[in-house]
Structure 1
Amino acid sequence: MRCVIAGGGPAGAMLALLLARAGVEVTLLEKHADFLRDFRGDTIHPSTLRVLDEIGLAEAFHRIPHRKAYGLTLVTDTGASRLADLRGLRGGYDYIAFVPQWDFLNLLTAEAAKYPSFRLLMNAEANGLIRDGGTVRGLRYHDKDGEHELRADLTVAADGRGSTLRVAAGLAPVEMGAPMDVVWFRMPREDGDPGETFLRVSTGRLLVAINRETYWQLGYVIPKGGAERLRAAGIEELRHHVGRLLPFLAERVTLLGSFDDVSVLTVALNRLRRWYRPGFLCIGDAAHAMSPVFGVGINLAVQDAVATANLVLKHGPSAVAAVQRRRMFPTVVTQFAQRVAQKRLIAPALEGSLRLTRVPELARIPVINRLTRTFIGNGVRPEHVASR
């Protein structure tokens, strides 16, 4: 069997590795020259850590510089509240590992390169499908040398939420909407700063603060489509709000010189009704764009890849429908939880209608904490590698 995968993100790289380990002839296309792009999803949850363990990469992964988070903390104007504690989660891993996504992708593709059936093409962008009747038989791509064709028994679109191949296959996602976008930027971290990653909520304002050891990765949440309004108000406006939310950064925010120092993530929440055509399959963001709520995007993508490898190695390319049947339920449930959080917390916070006087310590309520840590840590229907 020959497989070609468009997109060298978490879904594509993990699937390519799993297939190559099993001796499948697999080509992975990545449209960029490297994986080095900032402010991409990089929260590796226990479900993904277990997959890495199952394929013998856990030790190598943990040698990559990373930061462990054992819970989720919400900080309001009245104080901090522990919403979830991952300690005690079964399966050997009870923390979220924050690691740059490019390091994660380099790890996966370097391991895949050890297998002779694997090929990685960088600077190669897929732009069309090869069809034989109603069946997809490969893809077309271009690189610095021009246009090329790659024929395959299975063609996988893992090329993200703007998937070119998804469009070529005539598949369109159903949009569920999101009330926010996110402005990402960095601030230096100093001794005496808080130690944990946390969510800061105030009336009309919301910000995510991720501890990166030497710096803070900050995500300032803005109303959907509000980036232009923020730019029009000037960089001083952003500095002011960040300083009000995080007083310990009040003097450092002047390091934000201009909007060239920030990156805007346009948040999308959608999914395909149908993920496949004969000989063709969408996985990861190409099948379902996830909101950043709960930080589960990478992990859903990896779970898609594991399920795809398990089913394709057992049943062949015809298993594309079975992949959707297996992965649609966890996608629907996870997106439902994200929509609830967007409706009940994020939208009211941005509108200024949310009143948080005292948030209960949900992590201290055993039943709620077990449900929360299981959902965040393991996800819905976690996958395990069948081919060792």
Structure 2
Amino acid sequence: MEPASTRPDMTTVAISGGGPAGMMLGLLLARAGVDVTVLEKHADFFNDFRGDTLHPSTRAVLDELGLSEEVERIPHRKVRKVTVGRDDTNIVVDLSALPLAHPYIAMVPQWDFLDMLARKARGYPGFRLIMGAESTDLLSHEGAVRGLRYTDGDGEHELRAVLTVSADGRRSALRERAGLRPRVLGSPMDVLWLRVPRADEQVEGLNGRTGPGTMAFAIDRGDYWQIAYVIRKGGFDQLRTEPVEKLREQLRGLLPFLGERVQAIESWDDVALLDVRLERLDRWYRPGYLCIGDAAHAMTPVGGVGINLAVQDAIATANLLAVPLLEAQQDPRRFERTIRTELLARVQRRRWFPDAGTQRVQQFMQRELFGDIVGTANGQGTPAARRMVEAALRTPTGAKVATAIYSRLMSRIMMRGLRPEHVTSPERPLRA
């Protein structure tokens, strides 16, 4: 918690949310010389089963920020192979063969990733991070947002700001206070997260398997498998009425290499529910206020793109706004004036295609690849795309073509992103 004597009552940019979008934006703006305060409602960054897939697009940004060696020092797993199949048919993608500087998915614990960004950001004099501070409302004057209210262990406080940014996720309280309502695109599935110990089996990487009405993914985390088990939307309560042994049996059938280690799932208390949402704002901003990351566009876990798109949003925001914010910071009347709304609109325009485009890909995959598991549009049958893939896999030539197409999609859409961002915001000296 920030000591009362040093708690700020004004800043140039107030960022609600210390996740990937908020911490990356805070780092980049402080690096440019902007006074920035990030407020995170939790006392620390630790939260099990948070998304932690860093794609090559994010690794490239860490290279640009001089953080490559530091991220390599964090214990993590590199996923170089993706296998998706059903029964005895498989598509196997060798990520190491993709033409990328970092041809793998880095499974970096999100709390370690955020701690790394915070350490880097604290090296700049204009950065402040307040933990255990929950944003509750917006400060407004003459139709523009002028900061926010937050609560911590000492009560309620106000923080004036030239720009207030919501990077506080799909349940953002500030977004609601701003009157911005997301359009619900819909997701027919939820995901159960659980852990199973890993042995010395030959299986590695990311393995997805489907069966009659079920689907599971096993992600290699070194000493354990992180399991994502797909269920019909809203079906968890019904599932919990069954003995947990039924879930263990289904996992053994889908992922036989797990064997008797599924007994590590002793009860439903060992299973976490991810309420999957797919939604986005039609408008990300209002005067003095901007939403990025999940607050602007909630993604499903399909492809593990959430963190990476949030980071890309932050980079685009810093690239477009750092210099105008530096200019505003020098204005004695900065809290009486409003940063030009057109600048905020540019952020949305820059990120609309990759964010909305990726959501369309996720919608297609939900409908066509998961449809017979969580329910097709008409409630029956296997989707056409799934039937085509399974038919292709029955012949060596078809399997080769299907694998090539899947590899290209993985490379372009998921690994690199539809519009990868690069850091162009200015850099000021580190704290002496």
Q: TM-score, normalised by structure 2?
A: 0.86
2: distance between equivalents of 1:257 and 1:235? 7
Q: Is the 8 A contact 1:14 1:306 kept in 2?
A: yes
- The equivalent residue for 1:54 is 64
Match of 2:348 in 1: 324
Shift, 1:94, TM fit: 1.4
Q: Displacement, 1:368?
A: 5.8
**AA partner of residue 382 (structure 1):** P
In the TM superposition, 1:316-355 aligns within 5 A as 316=325, 317-318=339-340, 319-351=343-375, 353-354=381-382
Cα distance in 1 for partners of 2:60, 2:114 equals 16
Cα deviation, 1:210-241, whole Å, max 9, x if unaligned, reads 00110000011100001001101121221111
CA separation in 1, counterparts of 2:403 and 2:234?
Answer: 37
Is 1:384 the equivalent of 2:422? yes
Report matched runs for 1:259-338 at 5 Å.
Answer: 259-316=268-325, 317-318=339-340, 319-338=343-362
Gaps in structure 1 of 5+ consecutive residues: none
CA–CA distance in structure 1, aligned partners of residues 358 and 30 of structure 2: 29
Equivalent residue for 1:232, pick from 238, 241, 255: 241
With 348-357 and 10-19 compared, the bigger mean Cα shift is at 348-357
Identity level (%): 53
* Cα distance in 1, alignment partners of residues 346 and 75 from structure 2: 37
Aligned mates of 1:206, 1:346 — CA distance in 2: 8
The reply on whether 1:144 has 2:168 as its aligned counterpart is no
- Which AA in structure 2 matches 1:320? L
Whether 1:130 aligns to 2:139 is yes
Residues 177, 33 of structure 1: CA spacing in aligned structure 2 closer, same or farther, 3 A cutoff?
same
Partner of 2:334: none
CA deviation after TM superposition for structure 1 residue 193, in Å:
4.7
In 1: Cα distance, 2:406 partner to 2:253 partner: 32
- Equivalent pair of 1:84/1:363 in contact (CA under 8 Å): no
Tell me the CA shift for residue 168 of structure 1: 0.6
Aligned in 2, Cα 1:53/1:362: closer, same or farther, shift over 3 Å? Answer: farther
- Find 1:165's aligned residue among 154, 169, 174: 174
Aligned-residue offset at 1:8? 0.5
- Name the structure 2 match of 1:369: 407
Q: With structure 1 as the length reference, what TM-score do the two structures score? A: 0.95
Residues in 1 aligned to 2:345 and 2:81: alpha-carbon distance in whole angstroms: 36
SS in structure 1 at match of 2:106: strand
Name the SS of the counterpart of 2:319 in structure 1: helix
Alignment of 1:209-220 (within 5 A): 209-220=218-229
Q: How far 1:362 sits from its partner (Å)?
A: 5.4
Q: Which residue of 1 aligns with 2:74?
A: 64
* Contact 1:78-1:358 within 8 A present in 2 as well: no
- Give the letter for the 1:191 counterpart: D
Aligned mates of 1:25, 1:363 — CA distance in 2 = 52
Give CA-to-partner distance per residue, 1:329-384, whole Å, 9 cap, x none.
11111000000000001122344843646635457765663343121211011110
| Aligned-partner Cα distance in 2 for 1:15–1:340 | 30
Deviates more, 1:61-70 or 1:347-356: 347-356
Q: Which residue of 2 aligns with 1:182?
A: 191
CA contact (8 A) 2:139 2:145 kept: yes
Is the contact between residue 179 and residue 346 of structure 1 (CA under 8 Å) also seen in structure 2?
no
User: Match of 1:181, as an amino acid?
Assistant: D
What is the rounded CA distance, in whole Å, between the counterparts of 2:60 and 2:284 in structure 1?
A: 26
Report whether the alignment pairs 1:249 with 2:258.
yes
Greater gyration radius: 2
The letter of the residue matching 2:114 is L
Root-mean-square deviation (CA), in Å?
Answer: 1.8
- Equivalent position of 1:75 in the other structure: 85
* Contact kept in structure 1, 2:80 and 2:104, CA below 8 Å: yes
SS in 2 for 1:233: coil
Asked whether the 8 Å contact 1:123–1:143 carries over to 2, the reply is: yes
TM-fit CA distance, 1:244: 1.2
Number of the residue aligned with 1:27: 37
Aligned twin of 1:12: 22
In 2, are the aligned partners of 1:78 and 1:357 still within 8 Å (CA)?
no
Partner of 1:96 in structure 2? 105
Cα distance in structure 2, aligned partners of 1:344 and 1:57: 39
| CA 216–368 in structure 1, closer or farther in 2 if over 3 Å, else same | closer
**Counterpart Cα distance in 1 of 2:236 and 2:148:** 36
Give 1:201's match in structure 2, choosing from 210, 234, 237.
Answer: 210
Measure the CA separation in 2 of the matches of 1:221 and 1:288.
21
Matching residue of 1:42: 52
Distance 1:4 1:43, change over 3 A: same
SS across alignment from 2:13: strand
| Equivalent-residue separation in structure 2 for 1:85 and 1:215 (angstroms) | 21
